[in-house]
Amino acid sequence: MTKVLIADDEKHVREAIKLLADWEGHGINEILEAGDGQAAVEIITEESPLIVMTDMRMPRMDGTKLLEWIKTSRPEIKTIVISGYDDFELVRHAIRNGGLDYILKPVDPDALNEALAKAVEAIRLEELQNSLSTRKNMELNRMKPHYADKLLTDLISGHGSKEELARQLREEFGLPESITGCSAAVISTAQLDQELLDKFQSLRQLLYFTLTNICNEVLLSGQKGIAFHNLRNIEEVVLLIWDETMPLQATLEEIRSGIDLTLHRQIHIGAGTRQPFPAGAAATYQEAHQALWQRNAGEPSGWLHTGTPQPQKPLRLDSHEESFRMAALSGSMDQISSAVDGWMDQVRMLGRVTPAELTQWNAEWDWMLKQWMDRKADPASPGPDKDALLELPRSLPMDAQGRLSYPLWKAQYEGRLTAASRILTQQHSRENHIIHDIARYLENHYAEDISLQDMAARFFLSREYISRRFKQEFGVNISDFLASVRIEKAKLLLLNPQLRISQVAEMVGYQDEKYFSKVFKKQEGRTPNEYRKEQSSR
């Protein structure tokens, strides 16, 4: 039974909150009210609500004091502040004292229900964690989980003496002496949907803990088998089942139902054939692992997977690389969507898509995008923009039933191409920015002895890169651009009759007067002296 206490000195505000919140939808069945902080303390002491909504300005005891009291005396309570004051100090005080949210009056229904959902979810996860901790302590007794995981992981990985590992498991963790054979089963969190993984984003160990304990609730009762976290593949929970009194599928069905009841997800399980124990533990594990990763994720083909079908001709993502790259460079969402549709159509023609293939294509994406970035990058380009591509969602595009969701998959690919388009565009803009920086440097330092090698060293770019990009941007090579700048400056200096031609040449960066005159005539069609006379006669 989840109780909520609303503490506010204005009755009409309490009534409004009661009307706006979807109490039933959040599983809240009792609403308590208090007119001030002191009354709230008394009600909390007597009724033990799990959520408290409080105003900050109240008589007798205000919201700041109430939050402090809750944090000290009842820290398990989730608090939500509803206040008419948009005050930084009040917000900071609420956060420091455990407030989950700070909602301003007048109360927005969406904000209120979002805060309630956050509080209810936090309570549920804490209760689940407490419950699982209690069960594990009761069921595993003196078993040291990490050590047991290590021994069992070594057993299925083929490391060390199997007989010695089995002996340690019997002596230290009570595995029956009578085990002669076992079947392995595998559950992989890598094949769960993104929504569930997001819920455990900062509590991933809790997810493994939850799955392992649900499995062991079934297996350890009656010594049917044992479940553990595979330390060599941290996304896996592995089950070794030696009980022969119940069909393997029936045992796994019981486990699957427990997971569905707790996590509201229909998971997929790979299972291997029965092998001698301990010698065949690694072999049956490999069978289970392969069965799970080679299942057809595109069709509702059941939840239990055994055996490995004949491999089909591999479809390589790089066969579509050019269409993906051109779509990204176009910056057009229509082109990006069309390129992704072309890939999806080819995948659908396979008739069968495995999680292993989805993972392989993800790896090919990483390689392909890295090639694009390296192809466009220059040594002065910073890394964070390129690395940002690797921060995109890494989950497989699965729905809550563990099936491939083409809409979700398409959204992931379109997201990657959109991010690539943005980064490639940023890099192109940055390249132009660097080339213009070089041009400005030449305009400001035209009188100095400047070479292409000097520019390469100053801007940490290759001479070939500067030469190529400069010509692309300005239509002339860098030496002609510098000559043009120098001659334009020289034309201004030649207007001063007090300056000799040799002085003008030196002032614009030419130590040789004859060479200066040659360059000047080539660009202007007359010598510096002829230009001076022409200008003075006007």
Q: What is the pLDDT of residues 332-352, one digit of tens each?
A: 899 999 999 999 999 998 888
Confidence grade of residue 374 (pLDDT, cut at 50, 70, 90) = low
Q: Which residue has the tokens 């000097």?
A: 454
Nearest to 215 by CA among 125, 207, 146: 207
Confidence grade of residue 388 (pLDDT, cut at 50, 70, 90) = very low
Mean pLDDT within 32-45: 92
Computed over every residue of the chain, the mean pLDDT equals 84
d(CA 238, CA 288): 9
Helix (H, G, I), strand (E, B) or coil at 242: coil
Q: pTM score > 0.75 for this model? A: no
Model confidence at 390: pLDDT above 50: no
| Between 346 and 431, residue with greater pLDDT | 346
Confidence grade of residue 90 (pLDDT, cut at 50, 70, 90) = low
Q: Would you call 25 exposed, middle or buried from its count of C-beta atoms within 10 A (0-12, 13-18, 19+)?
A: exposed
> Residue 375 has which token pair?
């192809």
Q: Would you call 39 exposed, middle or buried from its count of C-beta atoms within 10 A (0-12, 13-18, 19+)?
A: buried
Model confidence at 471: pLDDT above 90: no
d(CA 74, CA 94): 15
- Residue 251 CB partners (closer than 8 Å, separation 6+): 218, 219, 224, 225, 241, 243
d(CA 19, CA 301): 46
Sign, CA dihedral 392-394-396-401, equals negative
Tell me if 493 sits within 8 A of 461, measured CB to CB. no
| Between 383 and 193, residue with greater pLDDT | 193
Confidence grade of residue 142 (pLDDT, cut at 50, 70, 90) = very low
